[in-house]
Each structure stands twice: as structure tokens, then as C-alpha cells.
A = this chain, B = another copy of it.
């Protein structure tokens, strides 16, 4: 019996092929390094998928067999097919976990699920980021001390234009003076969503052990609970009402007809 958590690591895989600095840090693509970090956790089984693959590597079959999806994209958010975004959204609502990483804040799927622009301020100065734990007991913060530092990172600053999070797990302090809600959770349908800030492509962030630990933790936290409910907006015929009633007044729909969408 396979009881491992099945993770699909999605990577845009564009800058790694165009930019020498990025290629140097992530020679097989960022997704492979993120996947490598997850494979360090015994209970996790990982596959990867990228933008250039047919259906961006996110076929119905693959998503059906995915418990948690991680998402990193930056330069090509607009190239992600809306039909695939629909499909990912549907799976999240069914219960698939979603871990959105760094520049994924501007991905179609994240904006779709949150309903806001997800904008922020930024600076690419390679400055120090210190990530603080807001709740040391939280499952996503396990194995992390009071804080950890990333020596060189892009700055993301408030205001971060997100729907109010359910919980804030991490906050960042930046050397240049900004702060940021770096680890946030939401629930949409039965899917748990976690946004984690670090991961600019010109720095070796996904090689760092604390970053890997947080993503591992987030995967364990985001595993589907309950069952895969698919909503269908069913008509409940009068004769099947829980209490006996009779038709009154005018109707728009004929008996058994589907509703408008």
C-alpha cells in the first residue's frame, strides 16, 4: 500500500534556460532542486511538471494523483492556459493542497483563488532576509528555530494585496528596512493553500536547508483531509423534499430541467 504523499512540483523553467546566473545555480531547473528538497523527506513522493510540457504537465490524470502541488513561476504567468488553471482550481477545491512559492504570487492560480491582485513592492539587491516564526507550535514551522536567515534574497515588501489569510506562520525582516507576510495560509473549498515568500531565481535559496524544511512541512500540512467532493448544483425535486410540500406560484424551469450557470 502506498501511503506516501504524492507531490507534483511545477516549475515554469524559463529563466533557467535563458539566464546564465540562474542556470548556474539551478542547472536542472528550479523545479528539480525543489523536488530534491522534498525527496529528503521519507514520506513524500515527487514528480515534476513544467510549462513547456503538453498541458503544462498537469493532465487530469496527474492532478488526480496529486495530493499537493507546488507552484513556482515568474516570467511567463500569462502563458499558462486558462483551461489548466480551471483544472488546478477544481482540484484545489476538491482538497488538493497548493504551495505557492515566491514570484508565484502573481500566478493565475493564486490570484484566481484569492480574488485579489496579490501585488507587493520589491527590490533585487541580494540583501539579507530574516524569517521569523509567528507560531512555534504550527506544523509548518516545525524544525525551525525562532527565525532563520537567507543571506541574499530579493526583497518583497508590504503592502501585499492578498485576501486576509487564515493564519500567518512567518513574517520577514529585510536588511533594507521592509517587512512582509512571508508565510500565509488560506482554505478554498477543501484545499489548503500556503504561500511561502523566498525563492528568487538568482540566489541559491532552494538549496538552503531551512527553506527545504518549511516546504516539506507545508506539504505534510496541506495533505487532503476528508473526501473529494465535486459540487454539482443539483435540483431537488419537490417529491424528494425532506418535508412534504406542494408546488405554489409560477416557475421558470420545467421539472427536471437544469439551472442556469
Contact = CB atoms under 8 A, between A and B. Distances in A.
A83 B138 CA distance: 26
A190 B135 CA distance: 8
A141 interface: yes
Contacts of A246: 125
A15 interface: yes
Contacts of A125: 238, 241, 245-248
Report copies per complex: 4
Interface size class of A (residues with CB under 8 A): 35 or more
Interface stretch (A32-40, A43-51, A110-118, A206-214): A110-118
A117 B168 CA distance: 17
Given A171-B179, A202-B250, A159 B187 contact: no
A84 interface: no
B77 A261 contact: yes
Given A138-B225, A173-B179, 20 more contacts: A15-B252, A21-B252, A112-B112, A115-B115, A119-B231, A121-B234, A125-B241, A125-B246, A126-B247, A137-B190, A137-B229, A138-B190, A152-B249, A155-B241, A159-B229, A163-B163, A164-B187, A167-B187, A168-B168, A176-B243
Interface of A: 15, 19, 21-22, 74-75, 77-78, 89, 93-95, 103, 106, 112-117, 119-127, 130, 132-142, 147, 149, 152, 155, 157-161, 163-164, 166-168, 171-181, 187-190, 200-203, 221, 225-229, 231-238, 241-243, 245-253, 259-261
